[in-house]
Structure 1
Amino acid sequence: MIWLSIIGRRFFFIVGTLYLYRCVTMYVTTLPVPGMHFKCSPKLFGDWEAQSRRVMKMMAGGGLSITGSHSLCGDYLYSGHTVMLTLTYLFIKEYSPRRFWWYHWICWCLSAVGIFCILLAHDHYTIDVVLAYFMTTRLFWWYHTMANQQALKEISTGNLFSRVWWFSPFQYFESNVRGIVPRNYQLPFLLQTMTSARVKYSKLDSRES
């Protein structure tokens, strides 16, 4: 259970940091629409209620153009969907057992096909996808290198990693972690409960008989 909380906060911290960087790149670099199929909604100045409805609609549709929830333009550099596809694969490969190589290959193929479909549908420029992959992989490797080395969790003159702006929250999240998180696999909570209940019932049934 404790490993699940460690992995969860690592995932959400990296996702939040990547999307914070994405806010910066979107603000400083506005690219034109990559495809003629996009319909850009007009800007809403001061209408907070309408802006909130747009946000809820985008969240409900997953930000996908196929669901009709993506009606805003300019948020291209870099690709948020590529971030999620890449990061999900990296976490699956990092924390699942090595004997699940077939599962790793399936996830890699799904991630690669998803990224290819983003480009095929002209939902992003190639630079959006390349930069998203670069940012995601580097931050993931950077964070886990620091998390797996106890010496890199402390501020020192020899630890240049401690100069990053997110080092303080990193120390907070990793304060109770000692060593490397094991690559184990467990059944989901519901399946575990059903399995344990079945075992208890079978034991009780055997006693009565």
Structure 2
Amino acid sequence: MAHVGTSSVLDWTKLDIYHWLCKIGFPEYGTLFEQNSIDGSALLFLTENDLRNPPLSIEKLGHIKKLYHEIHILQLDNIPLIAKLGYDPYCVINNIPNECRREIGNYFCPAEHVTPDIYPLGMDIDDRTENLSRSKKLKPEVWKTVISLVYLFVVTWITAFVMVIVHNRVPDMKKYPPLPDIFLDNVPHIPWAFAMCEFTGTLMLIIWIAVLIFHKHRFILLRRFFALSGTVFLLRCVTMLITSLSVPGTHLQCNPMVEELQLDNGSYHSVWVKARHAYFIWRGAGMSVQGVRTCGDYMFSGHTAALTILNFFITESHEHYSIDVFIAFYITSRLFLYYHTLANNQALMQRDSNRTRIWFPLFSFFESEVDGIVPNEFETVGSLAQNMIRWLRRHWRIWYRLSMRREITPIPEKSQNSESVNRQYFRDRNKKES
């Protein structure tokens, strides 16, 4: 038996349908659905008329409406499955008659069954399906974003430390000349290309920050950026450490760090010295414009992983082999594509959630509350300012209440004792006068 909610609806059996009915509060219709052989695929195409008319003939109007509402939600969550079966999801969800079907790869719906209210004219089926597939609940989940930031922070430190290790293992340039490379052998060396790549990367980072400032779902974007960046550079640590390639160009001066520091007593091998070198690389983000100079970290290119579209500048600077650039471009672009394909397709996530948790643990954790495509919605400067003011007011009130609670202290016992003493004094005085 498949577990309801974790498997594809198409795999649901009659027993799964009964569990689903119990879950939504209609167990009394389990026998009725079983008698009519309603499984997952049949449930996905039930309409309100099917519930109302024979052979189901549900009599209570409230039950019909509530039950169809749950079926409608199920249809919205499984739009890709409906399309995969050859039906137009928009027609199925809006109860348009079954003349609406897919023919020769295109969607065809008769005009007499189309109304402007539910089927906008001139709207492409892909746009309609995309609108239906958009996420209906987008929680910021700031705490997950913080966890992804910590993940990236740890990975960058690991990367910096691995770069220190591979720098010390770089092959001797006198014994091991540059490897044959079809691009580097035919493209002249351009000295300013590598610096231009890093300056362009800085410009792209500024644009990315501007997008985050105005995007309504900035925390989801940040979470995905941190998770993908951390995963790519963690994979880069493995490829750098496994095999040390020779220096790709004779213009580069690369020697092991022990020779550069001239530490014959072997003190460089201490963890503390390597940690200081790793901090220097981490602080400069591995960029040559920040004074960072590393060797041996070739497979695969960290610059191309950050700037896949600018790999031409890296190749012409002769700072990496062509295979480094190609592998970095392929891994980064494919990982981004596969991640968002799974995130945008709720059916793929539900089909085998247990296997997804095993093979993609970070994805399952970070995308557990995202049920569709994240729309590109931006805030204006005015709305952004209003949100900032509202946020400051809310936190100011919290801080003010906490400060007021600290200032309000209970009456000390000394003052209470003095008051009782005064009362006793006046009593004694009145007795004497009387």
Asked whether the 8 Å contact 2:247–2:254 carries over to 1, the reply is no
Instruction: Specify the alignment match of 2:384 in structure 1.
Output: 192
Distance verdict in 2 for CA 1:177–1:160, change over 3 Å: closer
Aligned residue type for 1:131: I
TM-score (norm 1): 0.68
Q: Residue 305 of structure 2 is aligned with which of 50, 62, 83?
A: 83
Deviation at 1:183, TM superposition (A): 1.3
C-alpha distance in structure 1 between counterparts of 2:344 and 2:368, whole Å: 12
Residues 10-69 of structure 1: per-residue CA shift (max 9 Å, x gap): 111111111111111112221111123233342575422211221121123231234331
Asked whether the 8 Å contact 2:356–2:364 carries over to 1, the reply is no
Q: How does 1:25-40 map to 2 (within 5 A)?
A: 25-35=239-249, 36-40=251-255
Asked whether the 8 Å contact 1:78–1:128 carries over to 2, the reply is yes
Aligned residue type for 1:77: M
In the alignment, is residue 69 of structure 1 matched against residue 284 of structure 2?
no
TM-score (norm 2): 0.35
Structure 1 or 2, whichever has the larger Rg, is 2
Aligned residue type for 1:78: F
Deviation at 1:185, TM superposition (A): 2.7
Instruction: Specify the alignment match of 2:333 in structure 1.
Output: 137
Of all paired residues, the percent bearing the same amino acid is 40
Q: How does 1:1-209 map to 2 (within 5 A)?
A: 2=140, 3-35=217-249, 36-43=251-258, 46-70=269-293, 72-86=294-308, 111-112=309-310, 115-154=311-350, 156=352, 162=356, 165=359, 167-186=360-379, 192-193=384-385
C-alpha distance in structure 1 between counterparts of 2:367 and 2:388, whole Å: 32
Asked whether the 8 Å contact 2:284–2:291 carries over to 1, the reply is yes
Residues 153-208 of structure 1: per-residue CA shift (max 9 Å, x gap): 2352xx8983873x22211111111210001233579x9339987xxxxxxxxxxx
What SS does the corresponding residue of 1:122 show, helix, strand or coil? Answer: coil
What SS does the corresponding residue of 1:154 show, helix, strand or coil? Answer: helix
C-alpha distance in structure 2 between counterparts of 1:56 and 1:28, whole Å: 22
Asked whether the 8 Å contact 2:228–2:336 carries over to 1, the reply is yes
C-alpha distance in structure 1 between counterparts of 2:224 and 2:235, whole Å: 17
Aligned residue type for 1:82: T
Aligned residue type for 1:39: C
Aligned residue type for 1:38: Q
Asked whether the 8 Å contact 2:248–2:318 carries over to 1, the reply is yes
Q: Give the length in aligned residue pairs.
A: 166
C-alpha distance in structure 1 between counterparts of 2:343 and 2:229, whole Å: 16
C-alpha distance in structure 2 between counterparts of 1:57 and 1:143, whole Å: 32
If asked which structure has higher relative contact order (CA below 8 Å, sep 6+), I would say 1
Deviates more, 1:29-38 or 1:59-68: 59-68
Distance verdict in 2 for CA 1:45–1:153, change over 3 Å: farther
C-alpha distance in structure 2 between counterparts of 1:160 and 1:135, whole Å: 25
